[in-house]
A and B are shown apart, each in its own frame.
Chain A
């Protein structure tokens, strides 16, 4: 358990550190990119569905897989569309 806590605390610091200075023009793409990254819940959704034993678990899991996929692919594509605009 203490392992997981260690990971959590370190990740907090990395998260703070990484975006401590970012120019206002990138606020929107950064938010959108971070939004795509929390779509990693797809991993959790796949794992839970892949070992589901009851219909309830299966239904909840599949719904989660669907929603998380929308989050991931939509997030990365929309971020890329924004960033494409910045190229000279």
Chain B
């Protein structure tokens, strides 16, 4: 009775946490409430549910804390998405292990128990291996391009079919070995599922896998007949699904296109093979352009964060404002590596919240922008997404900076962006390229603007 009440308290905390996290004002409280609910749930489970092995459990928890907290504390803000992916993956693995352990503990399992066990093991394994691949992609330990194995599609289908077959066989024969094989098939399925997803779309895959882990946890709730696991897992599964859809919408893409688009896209590298001329300028040229402009738009991207140039860009903007230039930041919904990621990175550098503008605030008035400064961004200003139906990013909303009066493009090299697509904007006669490290260029620009 008291246990159920405590679980109810925890479940309510989780609902309030998700609610809080949906509004900027209460987000941090929301997270605290969630953590509090978790503490209540875990302590209740430990106090009322542990018959023996208590010390072992405490040791395992201590190890988990010793690994989890330093990892979460030390991760750079730019690497947060892949960290979330890893945490998600281990959660999925934990769910699969719980179901495996319970399968070996229970005598005489019923139909629903078997069904829930099979689902937990399968979804948990998919979530784990899929998350590991997304981590490797975002950490750039492997290529960020879509990976198309020869016969990858057939392999994925084979893994899917054998998963279903092993699941059914496990349920009919109640053979533990088959359940292990199912876990292995799930791991293969997760890898094959994420490999063809292209770099810029990986965050969507993470969000979807997050929802998967939620469902695995919910299914494990049926295995253990535990209402809290069902409620919390389902909450995450449902909200994660919605969130995945919202993210896909922000990129102007359908989920199916993101997950399976790579099987169709073959024209990626066909364009832009021939040598074309670009116009590059000096720091002084750009300083004059900026110093005497009325209206400047800064479009920051992930490259800005990698170069740790958030503070440098804020100082340059402050200097321009002193000269009476009106400046705003254009924040694309998927700037950085994840929706909202750039806002976090700029907030870290104390850029005032009010200066951050979204697509709909910027694009209608973009023709009155004198200079659009693109720093470390690429795909989010690529006119190909608007004009080129064959482009892999076609349909993604962009900042129409090619319609501004002039463009300054800060780049380290002519290397294409994260999606691996060539950018027509680089060859536009209105565009001035400023090569070099973003932080270095911005610092030099600041000095040059001061001397005007």
Residues of A within 8 A of B (CB): 1, 4, 7-8, 11-16, 18-54, 56-58, 60-88
Which segment of B59-67, B166-174, B252-260 sits at the interface?
B59-67
Residues of A within 8 A of B434 (CB): none
Query: How many Cβ-Cβ contacts under 8 Å join chain A to chain B?
Result: 370
Query: Shortest distance in angstroms between B250's beta carbon and chain A's nearest beta carbon?
Result: 6
- Contacts of B50 on A, CB cut-off 8 Å? 46-47, 49-51
**Are A28 and B90 in contact, with the CB atoms below 8 A?**
no
- Asked if residues B54 and A67 are in contact (CB atoms below 8 Å), the reply is no
Q: Are B112 and A79 in contact (CB under 8 A)?
A: no
Flag whether B73 is at the interface (Cβ < 8 A).
yes
Q: Are A64 and B31 in contact (CB under 8 A)?
A: no
Indicate whether B325 reaches chain A with its CB closer than 8 angstroms.
no
A4 to B115, CA, bound (A): 14
Within 8 A of A (CB), among B44-69: 44-46, 49-54, 56-57, 60-61, 63-65, 67-69
Q: Are A27 and B246 in contact (CB under 8 A)?
A: yes
Q: Could you write out 7 A-B pairs with CB less than 8 Å apart?
A: A36-B31, A40-B228, A46-B46, A65-B61, A69-B60, A73-B64, A78-B84
Q: How far is the CB of A12 from chain B (nearest CB, A)?
A: 5
A55 to B69, CA, bound (A): 29
For window 198-245 of chain B, which residues contact chain A by CB distance below 8 Å?
A: 206-207, 210, 213-214, 216-218, 220-243
* Known interface pairs A42-B94, A67-B94, A78-B75; 19 further A-B residue pairs with C-beta atoms within 8 A, sorted by A's residue number: A14-B15, A15-B238, A24-B358, A27-B246, A31-B243, A35-B213, A43-B228, A44-B217, A45-B94, A51-B105, A56-B101, A57-B104, A64-B95, A69-B68, A72-B42, A75-B72, A80-B31, A82-B77, A83-B28
Q: Chain B residues with Cβ under 8 A from A84's Cβ?
A: 28
**Assembled-state Cα–Cα distance A81/B223 (Å):** 34
The answer to whether B343 touches A25, judged by C-beta atoms less than 8 angstroms apart, is: yes
A63-B97 contact given A12-B234, A54-B104, CB 8 Å threshold = yes
The contact of A58 among B44, B53, B72, B216, by CB within 8 Å, is: B53
Interface of A is mostly: helix
Task: Give the complex CA separation of A74 and B223 in angstroms.
Answer: 26
Known contacts A46-B50, A74-B69, A77-B72; is-contact A34 B236 (Cβ 8 Å): yes
- The contact size tier of chain B is 35 or more
B71 CB–A CB distance under 8 Å: yes
Do B45 and A46 have beta carbons less than 8 Å apart? yes
Q: Is there a chain A Cβ closer than 8 Å to B102's Cβ? A: yes
B238: which of A16, A73, A76, A88 is its contact (CB, 8 Å)?
A16
Q: A86 CA to B347 CA in the complex, in Å?
A: 6
In the assembly, what is the distance between CA of A45 and CA of B52, in Å? 13
- CB distance A15 to B67 under 8 Å? no
CB-based nearest B residue for A9 = B234
Cβ B68 vs Cβ A21 within 8 A: no
Segment with Cβ contacts to A, from B17-25, B142-150, B270-278, B281-289 = B17-25
Write the nearest CB–CB distance from B190 to chain A, whole angstroms: 16
